[in-house]
């Protein structure tokens, strides 16, 4: 029985979820009064739309799109305006003789005046701008691919939780039925004891088994409660929401009994490989950006300025047009050092891409092998469970007839519980290995 309890703990789902809080009530098709009903596929799509991880990944895509426009705008005309007010307490004056020889005072400045103007500039050529625009578009691709990876990972995680809920609830049902059977058998044994047909140790032995099984049932009930809370969180639902799972364990198993020989691995389609490719492009653009710092930058401008009030003598130039050319000449090797660093970072990225590509290929082969092993183990454990159930039912009948002892019934009962647990573990392993297989072959 201790072995049973120890193995039961292996069914706990060890997912680490960082919670920031779930706010708001989300509406879903047929969901009313905080009761949500999902098939596995519906639960996965709901989580993708409501769980904060996928929501943040969506926001990253929007941020990347805004970044493209931000970078594009740098190469478009820029217009700025100025306004300047000034007060001169004692404006200077000069005295000149007029045409009659009389002294005439001329103001060189006004006591109160304002200057206003506008400047229009246009980038004509910049290597950094061209590369930056390419990089912003590539970054958007990276954000979109990252969102796809988040979706895949979330679907895998949610499937594991969905399966675990069903398995634990099945365990609870079977152990609960076992408790009821043990109670009935204990009543039979107590009547035998009253008639002097068995010893008190037989009654104590069966009573001990009953207590241990009841404790196991309480453990499973706590596990069900905890895993259901985790499922609610992963779905992005408010705390206290009730979730009804519409698919049975049997139907899910039947869906996942496939012929893996139809699976063909395509490295180019794998999301992890595509992310590696995009990251390599970003590193290449980073190197090109450093190279572009050796190129000159050219911009043109037009400037207009005027004053609201003017003194007698005013030399303000209203219209100015020109071209700015910035030519990098000498930086003591700083720009070359940056280019060298970018080249080495690109080489590191390519090495990582090559290594990860081999790991993805190996991972797909391993996922296929593990699924085949899980399927074989599932078949064996299912047969063992059916056989153990048959032996238990037969032994229980003999026990009621007084043909076997309480010790024999206890042994058979433990064998049945262990077989049931092993079968449940095999079912969970089969389903999770199928999810891993679909993920490895880009089918999730």
CA 210 to chain centroid = 44
Give the number of C-alpha atoms closer than 13 A to the C-alpha of residue 43, restricted to the C-beta side.
26
Question: pLDDT-based confidence at 18, cuts 50/70/90?
Answer: very low
Mean pLDDT of 361-390: 93
φ, ψ for residue 122, nearest 5 deg: -145, 125
| pLDDT single digits (tens) 297-352 | 999 999 999 888 887 777 788 899 999 999 999 888 899 999 999 999 999 999 99
CA-based torsion, 388, 391, 394, 396: positive or negative? negative
Confidence of residue 98 (pLDDT cuts 50, 70, 90): low
DSSP helix, strand, coil percent of the chain (3-state; round to 5): 65, 15, 20
* Residues in contact with 358: Cβ distance below 8 Å, sequence separation at least 6, in sequence order: none
Q: What backbone phi and psi angles, to 5 degrees, belong to 264?
A: -125, 130
Instruction: Report how far apart, in Å, the C-alpha atoms of 264 and of each of 156, 362, 365 are.
Output: 20, 13, 10
Token couple for 88? 């001169």
Burial class (CB in 10 A: 0-12, 13-18, 19+), 155: buried
Q: In angstroms, rounded to a whole number, what is the distance separating the alpha carbons of residues 186 and 206?
A: 6
For the record, the structure tokens of 220 come out as 């499973």
State both tokens at 168.
Answer: 């634990």
Q: Cα separation of 248 and 258, whole Å? A: 18
For 259-287, the pLDDT digits (tens) are 767 788 999 999 999 999 999 999 999 99
- How many angstroms separate the CA atoms of 217 and 117, rounded? 82
* 320-332 pLDDT per residue, tens: 999 999 999 988 8
Predicted confidence at residue 344, as pLDDT, reads: 96
CA 155 to chain centre: 10
Across the range 177-205, mean pLDDT stands at: 81
pTM of the full structure? 0.78
Residues 6+ apart with CB under 8 A from 63: 143
pLDDT tens digits, one per residue of 111-154: 888 999 999 999 999 998 999 999 999 999 999 999 999 999 99
Q: Band the pLDDT of 33: cuts 50, 70, 90.
A: low
Q: 66-74 — which CB contacts under 8 Å span 24+ positions?
A: 67/136, 67/139, 67/140, 68/133, 68/136, 68/137, 68/140, 70/136, 71/129, 71/132, 71/133, 71/135, 71/136, 72/133, 72/136, 74/123, 74/129, 74/132
Tokens found for residue 87? 């007060």
- Does the pLDDT at position 229 exceed 90? yes
- Asked whether 131 and 293 are in contact (CB, 8 A), the reply is no
Distance of CA 367 to the CA centre of its chain: 22
User: End-to-end alpha-carbon separation of the chain, Å?
Assistant: 39
CA atoms within 13 A on the CB side of 1: 16
The whole-number average pLDDT for the span 34-62 is 91
The DSSP bridge pattern shows strands 103-107 and 93-97 to be antiparallel
**409 pLDDT above the threshold of 70:** yes
Instruction: Judge contact between 163 and 62, C-beta under 8 A.
Output: no
């Amino acid at each position: 029985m201790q072995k049973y309890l120890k193995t039961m703990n292996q069914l706990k789902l060890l997912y680490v979820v960082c919670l920031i809080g779930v706010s708001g009530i989300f509406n879903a098709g047929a969901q009313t009064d905080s009761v949500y009903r999902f098939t596995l596929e519906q639960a996965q799509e709901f989580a993708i739309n409501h769980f904060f991880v996928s929501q943040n990944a969506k926001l990253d895509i929007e941020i990347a799109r805004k970044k493209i426009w931000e970078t594009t705008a740098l190469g478009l005309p820029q217009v700025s305006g100025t306004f300047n007010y000034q007060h001169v307490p004692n404006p200077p004056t000069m005295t000149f003789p007029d045409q009659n020889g009389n002294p005439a005072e001329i103001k060189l400045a006004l006591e109160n005046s304002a200057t206003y103007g506008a400047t229009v500039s246009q980038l004509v050529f910049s290597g950094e701008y061209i590369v930056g625009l390419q990089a912003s578009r590539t970054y958007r691709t990276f954000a979109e691919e990252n969102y796809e990876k988040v979706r895949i990972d979330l679907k895998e995680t949610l499937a594991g939780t969905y399966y675990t809920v069903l398995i634990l609830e099945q365990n609870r049902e079977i152990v609960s039925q076992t408790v009821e059977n043990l109670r009935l058998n204990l009543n039979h044994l107590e009547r035998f004891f009253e008639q002097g047909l068995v010893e008190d140790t037989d009654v104590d032995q069966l009573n001990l088994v009953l207590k241990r099984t009841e404790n196991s049932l309480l453990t499973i009930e706590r596990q069900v409660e905890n895993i259901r809370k985790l499922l609610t969180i992963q779905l992005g639902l408010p705390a206290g929401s009730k979730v009804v799972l519409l698919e049975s364990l049997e139907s899910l198993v039947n869906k996942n009994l496939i012929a893996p020989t139809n699976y063909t691995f395509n490295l180019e389609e794998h999301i992890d490989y595509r992310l590696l490719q995009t990251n390599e492009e970003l590193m290449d653009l980073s190197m090109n950006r450093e190279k572009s710092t050796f190129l000159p930058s050219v911009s043109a401008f037009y400037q207009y300025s005027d004053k609201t009030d003017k003194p007698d003598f005013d030399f303000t130039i209203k219209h100015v047009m020109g071209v700015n050319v910035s030519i990098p000449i000498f930086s003591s090797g700083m720009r070359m050092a940056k280019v060298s660093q970018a080249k080495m970072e690109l080489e590191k990225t390519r090495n990582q891409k090559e290594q990860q590509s081999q790991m993805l290929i190996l991972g797909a082969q391993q996922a296929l092998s593990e699924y085949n092993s899980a399927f074989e183990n599932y078949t064996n454990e299912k047969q063992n469970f059916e056989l153990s159930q048959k032996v238990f039912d037969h032994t229980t009948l003999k026990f009621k007839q007084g043909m076997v002892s309480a010790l024999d019934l206890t042994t058979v009962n433990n064998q049945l519980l262990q077989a049931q647990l092993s079968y449940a573990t095999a079912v969970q392993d089969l389903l999770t290995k199928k999810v891993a297989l679909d993920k490895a072959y880009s089918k999730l």
